[in-house]
Chain A
Amino acid sequence: MHTIDHYAYGNALRRVDPAQKGGLTVLAIILCLLLDRPTVGLVTLGWMFALTALWARVPSHVFGRTLLAEGLFLILSVMGVAISVSLNPPEIHRIVWHIGGLWVSTDHEAIRVAYHLFTRALGCAAALNFLILTTPLTDLIELMRRLYVPETLIELMTLIYRTIFVLLESMQRMALAQAVRLGYSSPGRALRSTALLGSQLFLDAYRRSRRMQTALKSRGIEGTLRMLPLEYVYDRRAWWVGATLGVSLVVVGIL
């Protein structure tokens, strides 16, 4: 989490308008889903890797590691699509294993669907990775504000985002303090320590909210919290990138 947040704040595209980066991502995801072809997914993956590594200058291993975690999870998920399990021997499937009392089977069609799904989801995930590795959440919240997401939600999200890291640090300190006192030395003890950690974290969150409320009140808060909007750079190249991306995906999808 810190890695993604770190690069989101410090990449070459940091100042570019989030609407442009968001637009690129949404375009790629929509085309991936609608064209629904393995090559489109793979081409999107290539595009997004190039954009993240070359344009935004995020180290390629960061992009790779994020994608690897997603890829491993995807393999597990698509296996459920590729393999059928039944109590009776299947009639239509060609490749069959008989394990215990179960018939595990698959065929070329099921594997094709799974491969389809794998590439499509990987392409979409790569597009999302491009967005989250180049755009901090504060910018995305600002983008949502422009997209007419209700002010209440915007404010709630801003508050949550800004306090996550405070609470996380507090949790890590508590967990460390417990660990050095052998609080996690056995599973039973670990469960007890985790529960204590959870409840203390809740108390911490609650007390912080009271303190913040008091601090804001003493400074005369009236209704909403206001943040200064950032100044964004409007990058003309993003249009060209978007157009080429769109055309290349459509061409690959139709051919």
Chain B
Amino acid sequence: MSRTHRWLIVAIGALALVLLEGRPAYAMHIMEGFLPPLWAAFWFAVAIPFWVIGFRRVNRLMTEKPETRMLLGLVGAFAFVLSALKIPSVTGSSSHPTGTGLGAILFGPAVMSILGTIVLLFQALLLAHGGLTTLGANAVAMAIVGPLVAWGIWYGLKDRISIWVAVFCAAAIANLTTYVVTSLQLALAYPDPTGGFTAAFIKFGTIFAVTQVPLAISEGILTVLIFNALQTNAETELMALDVLKGA
């Protein structure tokens, strides 16, 4: 075995390790400093209207019904802890659920825009995943667009087909959506030198898709199972949550 040959094997092994085993749990967060200042500011600007709507809703809930204060605090902590939960993926590895689907179904997209952003901020400050300048971009993907898509799918499908299918579609597609949005954000900031934005979008999308499609399916199944367990064990509690959605 020649010297270069050996080095090649070591390099490929190291690469495989990074890609497969060392793959960080929160792979979709855009890291601190990864976006150029203009794009970071742009995604904050996109997020602000949604935050204002969510904030108004949360504010009204907390003044009109003081008991929602504790409820929001605890479900926020629940969302954070849930994101630390390991789920076994179809491919055999394990990762963490985004929780956007479950969150949107349980709490509605308006409340989710605030709770999700706080969870992202805490992940940056307690786990060193994500960042402060990229909080806007991450929030758009995971606290705004993902929950909105999940909510839309769930709301549109729940009366037409079996509720489990609706929950599965909402959670799995919301999970995928967060990745598509993240790929879009990366492609816009760093277009490909040969193929421009489209090629970059497909490229970043593929990097994520390899790991993400099985994870989206896992998250869909998991959300259905959680929802099922909640329906049998926590019916009254689920009814109380309708307060948050304004239903």
Contacts and interface: CB of A to CB of B under 8 A. Distances in A.
Contact of A124 (B24, B32, B86): B32
B31 A194 contact: no
Q: How extensive is the interface on chain A, given as a class?
A: 35 or more
B190 A192 contact: no
Given A33-B36, A203-B237, A125 B131 contact: yes
Contact of A90 (B19, B31, B194): B194
A109 B133 CA distance: 26
A187 B58 contact: no
Query: Which residue of A92, A159, A196 has the most chain B CB atoms within 10 A of its CB atom?
Result: A159
Q: Which of B194, B195, B233, B240 has the most CB of A within 10 A?
A: B194
A13 interface: no
B204 interface: yes
Interface string A15-46: 00000000000000100111010000100000
Interface in B171-204: 186, 190, 192-195, 199-200, 202-204
Contacts of B199: 84-86
Given A129-B128, A196-B229, A191 B237 contact: no
B55 A152 contact: yes
B74 A152 contact: no
Given A152-B62, A153-B114, A205-B77, A198 B222 contact: yes
A20 to B, nearest CB: 17
Contacts of A166: 77
Interface stretch (B2-10, B118-126, B139-147): B118-126
Interface string B50-86: 0000010011001000110111111111101110111
Given A85-B203, A167-B78, A206 B234 contact: yes
Contacts of B102: 198
B67 to A, nearest CB: 5
B34 interface: yes
Q: Which range holds the interface residue count of chain B?
A: 35 or more
Interface string A93-127: 10000000000010101100100010011111101
Contacts of B206: 85
B22 interface: yes
Interface stretch (A53-61, A67-75, A236-244, A246-254): A67-75
A161 interface: yes
B18 interface: yes
Contact of A155 (B69, B78, B88, B92): B69
A245 interface: no
Interface in B100-124: 102, 106, 114, 118, 121-122, 124
A128 B126 CA distance: 11
B203 A132 contact: no
B225 interface: yes
A109 B66 CA distance: 58
A33 B204 contact: no
B218 interface: yes
B221 interface: yes
Contact of A137 (B33, B126, B222): B126
A83 B202 CA distance: 12
Contacts of A167: 74, 77-78, 81
A233 interface: no
B81 A168 contact: yes
Given A125-B33, A194-B88, A205-B78, A76 B19 contact: yes
B46 to A, nearest CB: 19
Contacts of B82: 198, 201
Contact of B73 (A70, A159, A198): A159
Interface string B6-47: 000000000000110011100100011110110010000000
Given A152-B59, A194-B86, A201 B81 contact: yes
Contacts of A92: 193-194
B84 A1 contact: yes
Nearest to B73: A159
Contact of B71 (A84, A110, A191, A209): A209
14 contacts: A33-B36, A73-B27, A77-B186, A85-B206, A121-B33, A129-B128, A132-B124, A152-B55, A152-B59, A157-B121, A164-B81, A167-B78, A202-B234, A213-B71
Given A77-B34, A92-B194, A132-B128, 8 more contacts: A29-B132, A29-B133, A72-B18, A80-B200, A167-B77, A171-B81, A200-B229, A209-B71
